[in-house]
Amino acid sequence: MNKLSIAQARKPESIGREVRLQGWVRTRRDSKAGFSFLELNDGSCFGNIQVIAEAGLENYESEVKRLTAGSSVTVEGQLRESPGKGQATEVLARRVTVHGNADPETYALQKKQHSFEFLRTIAHLRPRTNTFGAIARVRNCVCRSIHDFFQEEGFLYIHTPIITASDCEGAGEMFQVTTLKLDQIPKKGPAIDFEQDFFDRPAFLTVSGQLEAETFACSLGKVYTFGPTFRAENSNTSRHLAEFWMVEPEMAFFELADNMDLAERFLKRIFTDVLEKCPEDMEFFNLRIDTTVLETLRHVIASDFVRLTYTEAVDILTGSGETFEYPVSWGVDLQAEHERYLTEKHFRSPVILYDYPRRIKPFYMRCNDDGKTVRAMDILVPKVGEIIGGSQREERLGVLAERMAEQGLAAENYWWYLDLRRYGTVPHSGFGLGLERVIQFVTGMANIRDVIAFPRTPGSAEF
């Protein structure tokens, strides 16, 4: 007897095998002829397998005929060719073992259709639905693709810390990590005495692994870090999480154009892998969530991303005749509505914007000779907007120190970062891809809270 996943059992080459299948019942139908059909799912693929349970089973009346959605079972029997449409195989059960029932009076997933808002309140059960199972498999596929891509390109996977003392983005949106008692904060004069805190200094959850990744790029060449990052920004939007996953490659001897080329190839590789490895899940998204996802992905893979400067983008936006909620002029940070206008209406393709005003970008980005802009690049895609943010890094010690002073950062806290410029400095570049944003783009899911298992947002951390 072979224990098979339902994904394996659905393949025609498995026909004839004696198998053991284990999973959760999606539906039960009883035929008048005295047997029942169970639709069984184990998460290994989108599709279910049909189980034929005949009245001769010893527990047919006592258990099988009472099975309801959500119950867990082991089915042993023979796989045979299915006469039904949309499935190659089915299993004729010799034995059905019931592990756990799911009381239909209280089990929330009895009903077929639930709103995504409701499903967020049962985040522990939503992976059992078609949509969230498909998201989990696509997310897994994207992560594998990320590693495959960088490994094949000769990058080293490194691990940067989650607890840090430096604010990479300089935006002051960090969660503080402390063991000080909030009701007995030690003081040194009027100030908090952080020497009594766990790390002898204020410490935070990282917003980005970039600064630490740079130390490895400036030793080992091409590296990437991939992990959770945290932002205490109070944005209640469909594109922001307080805890999200980011993959950050960092490359020595890369200038901005090299960075863009890599990022474009990287995204195309992810999209290609998802189409190839998750066809069933992607069909589902295309049918039920957003009828343009397949076409969009194929189009994006086949086309060159548009590249233009921030200044050119501002000219397009101001000349568009469109009324935006936030008016555009040179120097402002672009809002989602502007990004979407560029990618969805004007170019109808992904766009790489570069050379942003220095005042709206972090200290580490390389200054251009015009004195006004930095070598930043953002990749914008339809519907999601910014999916990647990156830059060439400032490798000149003097310029970097000036930029830090300009942004009010204390150079002594970044002495190790400045050392990279003091000893054997090199031109280098990198970017960050938000994992959840890429999953949103690929699946067409409208809300970022639905592409991560347990979303962390302002006021919400129940599960």
Taking the C-alpha atoms of residue 163 and residue 207, their distance in angstroms, rounded to an integer, is 10
The binder of ligand 4AD chosen from 217, 297, 367, 387 (CB under 6 A):
387
By the rule CB under 6 A, 432 interacts with ligand 4AD: yes
Nearer to ligand 4AD, 90 or 378 (CB): 378
Interface with Mg ion by CB under 5 A: which range of 117-125, 325-333, 388-396, 433-441? 388-396
Residue 210 as a binder of ligand 4AD (CB under 6 A): the answer is yes
User: Which helix (H) or strand (E) covers residue 443, if one does?
Assistant: helix 435-443
Q: In 10 A of CB 87, how many CB atoms?
A: 15
Q: Which of 50, 208, 343, 443 binds ligand 4AD (CB under 6 A)?
A: 208
Under the binding rule (CB under 6 A), the answer on residue 82 touching ligand 4AD is no
The window from 15-23, 286-294, 299-307, 384-392 that contacts ligand 4AD (CB under 6 A) reads 384-392
Interface mask (CB under 6 A) for ligand 4AD, residues 167-186, using x and -?
Answer: -xx-----------------
Give the integer Cα–Cα distance in Å for 259 and 272. 20
> Candidates 17-25, 252-260, 308-316, 386-394 — which segment interacts with Mg ion by CB under 5 A?
386-394
HSE at residue 291, side-chain half, CA atoms within 13 A, is 0
**How big is the chain, counted in residues?**
463
Q: Which of 23, 385, 389, 444 binds Mg ion (CB under 5 A)?
A: 389
Contact status, residue 164 vs residue 204, Cβ threshold 8 Å: yes
DSSP 364-425: TBPBPTTSSEEEEEEEEETTTEEEEEEEEB---HHHHHHHHHHTT--GGGGHHHHHHHHSS-
Residue 211: contacted member of Mg ion, ligand 4AD, none (CB under 5 to 8 Å, by partner type): none
Q: What is the rounded distance in angstroms from the CA atom of residue 167 to the CA atom of residue 207?
A: 7
Of 26 and 231, nearer to ligand 4AD (C-beta) is 231
Binds ligand 4AD (CB under 6 A): choice among 26, 240, 268, 383: 240
**Nearest distance from C-beta of residue 163 to ligand 4AD, angstroms:** 17
Q: Which of 404, 400, 402 is nearest to 422 (CA)?
A: 400
Q: Which does 240 bind (CB under 5 to 8 A by kind): Mg ion, ligand 4AD, none?
A: ligand 4AD
Phi-psi region of 24 (alpha: psi -120 to 50; beta: other; left: phi over 0): beta
Number of residues that bind ligand 4AD (CB under 6 A): 21
394 contact, one of Mg ion, ligand 4AD, none, CB 5-8 Å limit per kind: none
Tell whether the torsion through CA atoms of 440, 445, 447 and 453 is positive or negative. negative
Residues lying near ligand 4AD in the complex (CB under 6 A): 168-169, 208, 210, 231, 240-241, 244, 246, 248, 386-390, 430-432, 434, 436-437
